[in-house]
Amino acid sequence: MRKLNTHYVLMVRIVFIFLVSFSPLLLAQPTLLELQRAANEGDPWAQLNLAAAYDNGFAGAAKDPVVAVKWYRRSAEQGVVKAQFNLAHCLGTGYGTAQDLVGSRHWMLLAAQQGMADAQYLLGVMLADGLGGAVDLGAARFWLHKAVDGGNKDAAEHLKTLN
108-132 confidence digits (pLDDT tens): 999 999 999 999 999 999 999 999 9
| 8 A C-beta contact, residue 59 and residue 51 | no
Question: Does the pLDDT of residue 81 top 70, yes or no?
Answer: yes
Which whole-number Å values give the CA distances from 68 to 46, 58, 87, 123, in the listed order? 12, 12, 9, 22
Residue 103, amino acid? G
Render pLDDT for 46-73 as a digit per residue (tens, 0 to 9).
999 999 999 999 888 999 999 999 999 9
Half-sphere exposure of 47 (CA within 13 A, CB side): 24
pLDDT for the residue numbered 22: 42
pLDDT for the residue numbered 28: 55
| 8 A C-beta contact, residue 67 and residue 54 | yes
| Measured distance CA(155)–CA(122) in Å, rounded | 8
